Amino acid sequence: MNMDDDLRSIQGVRDQIRSSKKALEVLSAWSQQDIDRLVKNVMEHCHKQAEYLAKLAVEETGFGKWEDKVLKNTLAGPVLYESIKDMKTVGVIREDQGGHYYEVAVPVGVIAALVPSTNPTSTVIYKSLIALKGANTIIFSPHPNARKAIRTTVELVRDALKANGAPVDAVQVIGEPLTMEATSELMKHRDVGLILATGGPGMVKAAYSSGNPAIGVGAGNGPAYIEKSADVKTAVRHIIESKTFDNGTICASEQSIVTEAVLESEVTGELTAQGGYMLPDADIEKLGKFILRANGTMNPVIVGKSAEKIAELAGIQVPRGTKVLVARQTEVSHKNGYSREKLCPILAFYVERNWEACCERCIELLRNEGSGHTMTIHSKDEKIIREFALKKPVSRLLVNTTGSLGGTGATTGLAPALTLGCGSVGKSSTSDNITPLNLINIRRVAYGTKELSDLRGGAPAPGAANVSVGGVNVTQDQVEAIVRSVLSRLR
């Protein structure tokens, strides 16, 4: 019987889910020591191919720089491993000293994982490790434009599973034909325990609408505020380093600079000195029309490209060696591409009269796009930093560091992660940097420590024996009856 591609792909996913459940039965019986050893060996096996995978991703997608993707693969491998290696994720993970309460980790089960084309290999490594650490199994739905890089990475993980005596079907990827129907079936199947959705807003929304629990991310549109007490030279260096890292493909990277009028000349001077190009008005208009398509979405041809390549594509002239294109702006709207997420080395530049106005501008930018995600502040004034922390609708406020590497935990104390929750304000189920602890359920075992009478403040229950008369226990009701009888005789 011949089936159409959509039917064949749906059946293929169903078969994969069945085999994933069998692998889950095996892994869920492993000890913490066995799981930890497996995670370590998978990490080491993948890390040996970090450069190969990075080059493969750039070759296939055309996004970013392979040298920076090596660092992404390292963040998803050894850096992540050091962060999670001592986590208790299997069996009894916590108990009180009195023995009246303890917690048992339970895998969430089969995980459906969506993989973006901007970070294909690092996302597979990262999600495989955090899933396995919780004794879960995982099935990847690859982005069509990065399927080779994603499938190659999955095969490396499966090789490591086999070498360590683990069921290879603990980690799988949707095969050919790769259809939307297959991804939909994966997300909606009743035997999927959780969806890890990293990708475009449409796919994330579909994950949350699937009927299965989901952890998704929102768009990033983080402003970088340079406050007047900041070390401007260092602040600009951080911003340019971040915005050019892998050509801006990390969603936590800065999308605009906001600063005060008293700093304008100093900031623009540093931007120019460090490789930024302040676009003239005519080029701002020309590039603005190029970065947004007619339907209001970002032009995909700019994603992950260098500043010079984008300028060439848009038909504008920039100095050789330009690292970032900077456009002076006064408006924030969904129709203004400069005030939205741009996964490439383009920055909007806003100048406000004081720090309070800068604060409001940052909020306006985040509400336009990127609520709940990330922003950075460069300042030495702890009072202002605290004010921003209390008011900004973000899950990560990064101080005096780079957005891309700070948000993912490489240059900050945040958990190393490539899936960054945006909280309820960003329509996400969590505001965490996602770790294995987000991929386990906790069974709580609680012993009785009180009786109902204790909850009533020590008062006995009606009819309870609590008085001894001549060595004989009588109830409160009986005592009250005797008292009433004696009082009636005295009258």
CA dist 180 and 176 (Å) reads 12
Tell me the C-alpha to C-alpha distance, in Å, between residue 20 and each of 107, 153, 157, 372: 13, 18, 15, 33
Quickly tell me which residue has 């293929």 as its tokens.
12
Per the annotation, the verdict on 251 as an active-site residue is: yes
CA dist 449 and 288 (Å) reads 66
| Residues 36, 210 contacting (CB under 8 angstroms) | no
Provide Rg for the chain, Cα atoms: 29
CA dist 243 and 237 (Å) reads 10
**Closest by alpha carbon to 376, among 236, 254, 218?**
254
Within a 13 Å sphere around the CA of 402, how many CA atoms are in the beta-carbon half? 19
Length of the chain: 491
Distance of CA 458 to the CA centre of its chain: 49
Phi, psi of 109 (to 5 degrees): 115, -140
Region at 165 (left for phi over 0; alpha for psi -120 to 50; beta for the rest): left
SS3 readout for 215-258:
EECCCCCCEEEECCCCCHHHHHHHHHHHHHHHHHCCCCCCCEEE
Tokens read off for 199:
């990708």
Choosing from 251, 344, 358, 359, which is the catalytic residue? 251
Catalytic residue positions? 251
